[in-house]
Structure formats: structure tokens, C-alpha cells
Amino acid sequence: MKQTVTYLLLVLAVAMNSCGTDDTPVSHKEIFEIRTIGTLSTSEYTVSKIIKLNDPGEWYKWGDRKILISCKAKIKAGVNLNKLKAEDIKITGKKIEIQLPPAEIISFEMNPEQIKTEMVDVSGFRGGFSQQEKNKILRLGEKSIREDMKQLNILNDAETNAIVFLTDFYKNLGFEEIIIHGTKKDKRTKNTDR
């Protein structure tokens, strides 16, 4: 009797242990399915900029011209998962190791509806600012925002968020250990011209 109870407990333990695990192997197709997402946008910043121009009069121009323009830029960053290659993913049992493509700027957008002339001051015999001059000032503002982007953490945030997303994705596929390597900062693209 004692031997039968021990045998039943052993069978029950084996049965319970096998119920909770899914040992169905993940297919190669499922592992690379993540590439079908394409570009994964994981970070978005909105940057405001005030552009000030002071155009003092010269000896032949009497008076000053001043203008203050505000603008906003929406910047999105993420990871292009199409760039994942077979050698970027290593699988050992329930462990997956991934070398992530570098985070990059996906879009840079200055909405014309969010560009406002806050102040114009023209004195003396000077004329107002032409639309061409205002456009030139806006280009300076855009250039300034792009320079400021280098100081932002948008690429770091995009990479961190992509790692979180991919970790969850592969955990749902049944992997128990997920190691994702980001791109070293010196290997990242410095291009902010999107």
C-alpha cells in the first residue's frame, strides 16, 4: 500500500510538472516575424523653440526691426527591425540573444499651424519682415532644433523602449532568457536629417 501511494505521488508530480510547460519549439518564422513590423517607433519628443531676430539699422537705414517667432517640432525615433539579420539573433534552447539595429530618427515634423509670430517691432523708416525673411528665420529655428536634438536622449529612449518591447514579444513566444544588446553610442548614426 505504501509503495502504491509513493508510486501515485511520483506519477502525480511528473504529470503536474509537465502540465505547466509548453515545450513546443518556436519556429524560425516566428522568431523573425518581428521584422514584419518594419520601423518600430518607440519614442516621440515635442520640442518648442523661440526664434528671436534683431535687425538693427545701419547708417543708411534708420530704425530697428525685431521679430519673435515660436515653433514646435515633433520628433520620432525608433528602430528599423527590417535591418535584423540572421546573425543578429542567437538561440540556445529557451535563451535568445539579439543584437539590436541602431536607433534612428524616423521623422522630424514642424507643423505650420504651430508656427506663430509672437511679436514684431519695426521703428523708424524700416519696412516689416517679408515672408521670405520669415521663412529664413524658420530655417534657422529648424537648424537650431536639429542641433539641440544631439543633446536630447531621444535615441537612448528609443533603444530602451525597443528593448522592453522585444523582451515582452519574445517572452510571449516562450523564451525564458532574453538578452538584447543595444548599439554602442559611438556606432550610432548621428544623422538628424529626417
pLDDT digits (tens, 9 = 90+) for 149-175: 888 889 999 999 999 999 999 999 889
Query: Within a domain: residue 174?
Result: yes
Distance of CA 157 to CAs 38, 43, 67, 146, 190, Å?
18, 6, 35, 17, 15
Query: Within a domain: residue 60?
Result: yes
- For 74, left (φ over 0), alpha (ψ -120 to 50), or beta? beta
pLDDT digits (tens, 9 = 90+) for 65-87: 888 889 999 999 999 999 988 89
**Which residues form the domain of 146?**
26-187
Higher pLDDT, 187 or 94: 94
What is the per-residue pLDDT for 162?
A: 95
**Number of folded domains that form the chain:** 1
Query: Within a domain: residue 192?
Result: no
pLDDT digits (tens, 9 = 90+) for 114-148: 888 888 888 777 777 788 888 888 888 889 898 88
Of 123, 84, 81, 102, the C-alpha closest to 185 is: 102
CA separation for the pair 65, 56 (Å, rounded): 6
